Amino acid sequence: MQAISHIVAGTDFSAEADLALHRAASISKALGAKLHLIHVVHPLDLYAGSELSFSFQTHYQQAQQEIVKTQIDTLAFKLREQFNIAVEAVTRIGRAHTEISNYAEQVHAGLIVAGAQGQHTLVEKLLGSTSARLMAVSKSAILIVKNKDITTPPYRHVIAAVNFLAGAENVPTMTRKIAPDAQIEGLLIFDTNQEAHMYKAGMNETLLQQYRTQALADADHKLSAIFNEQALGKQVSRTILSGYPSQSICNHAGTQHADLIALGKNEKSGLENWLLGSVSKGVAYAAECDVLLAN
């Protein structure tokens, strides 16, 4: 995995966005990365019922860009002074998730940092938050900041959940980059729904127990290979639990007082993801701590 040299943080100047900016700045300092602040002006033609002329909309959007440029430049100056890091501030016009994702790709950002909830329009309430839509379109890893502590303490206990799909090995590696001194607990949730389907299909209890024993042994072997102490350091442990993945991950993070959950963000696609959701989406919504979504 390449080093993270550029980090993008979106802001709408809300309190939640400020928390995300401080976390992004802290990570930028630790990694020696350049921080890019971006604010996206929402076009008037995206609001329902907008009948204003094109020239008026263009003038309004340009005026808004000038106003927010002062705000975002001030934020950039404060972060430079406080964290002693390189900060670039930009504004764009369009849909927030699209513009942030495109800009991150343009500057080759290894990480996008976003607040869990900011200023919501009716459109966002209907279609989902910027963070949620970033999950679907971004090619970069995404850190969703939910912790309300403005002092931004370093991560101490991370639950890194994997499911052995393609890219699972990136989760612990990315986690260690973001949380270099944390205890990383590799977690696999043995989905009990699979056993239920096997039982309904006619598999008897003896065969089911044999399957369960072998599956757990295989899972522990794979976890051991992915969460390699030699590569990740000695502060690594492994846990295997049974249950429904999203709920079990969040519940375990709560009982362990974890301050970060890390997992892969690409699990389902297309209609399946739309109808059923995904583990990453479920965790991103339900978790009470920060959530890192690795590619």
State pLDDT tens for residues 158-204: 999 988 765 677 899 899 999 999 999 999 988 766 666 666 677 77
Residue 258 is predicted with a pLDDT of: 97
Residue 226 is predicted with a pLDDT of: 85
One-character DSSP codes across 162-202 = --SSTTTTHHHHHHHHH-TTSEEEEEEEEEHHHHHHHHHTT
Q: In what order do the strands lie in the sheet with 87-93?
A: 87-93, 34-41, 6-10, 111-115, 141-145, 290-294, 260-264, 157-161, 183-191, 236-243
**Coil vs helix vs strand at 146:** coil
Which has more confidence, 281 or 255? 255
Residue 57 is predicted with a pLDDT of: 59
CA distance 162 to 164: 6
With cut-offs at 50, 70 and 90, classify the pLDDT of residue 281.
confident
DSSP secondary-structure letter at 94?
S
Least confident of 10-14, 60-64, 109-113, 290-294: 60-64
Q: Quick: pLDDT tens for 29-69.
A: 999 999 999 998 876 544 444 555 556 556 666 677 778 88
Which residues, at least 6 apart from 160, have a Cβ–Cβ distance to it below 8 Å?
171, 172, 175, 184, 185, 186, 187, 227, 261, 262, 263
**Coil vs helix vs strand at 152:** coil
Whether the per-residue pLDDT at 269 is higher than 60: the answer is no
Whether the per-residue pLDDT at 1 is higher than 80: the answer is no
Tell me the pLDDT of the chain averaged across its residues: 82
Which has more confidence, 244 or 82? 82
Relative orientation angle of helices 245-255 and 279-286, to the nearest 10 degrees: 40
Whether the per-residue pLDDT at 246 is higher than 70: the answer is yes
Residue 197 is predicted with a pLDDT of: 64
Which has more confidence, 59 or 258? 258
DSSP secondary-structure letter at 288?
S
Q: Quick: pLDDT tens for 68-126.
A: 888 999 999 999 999 999 999 999 888 888 999 999 999 999 999 998 764 444 334 33
Residue 167 is predicted with a pLDDT of: 65
Which residues, at least 6 apart from 3, have a Cβ–Cβ distance to it below 8 Å?
31, 110
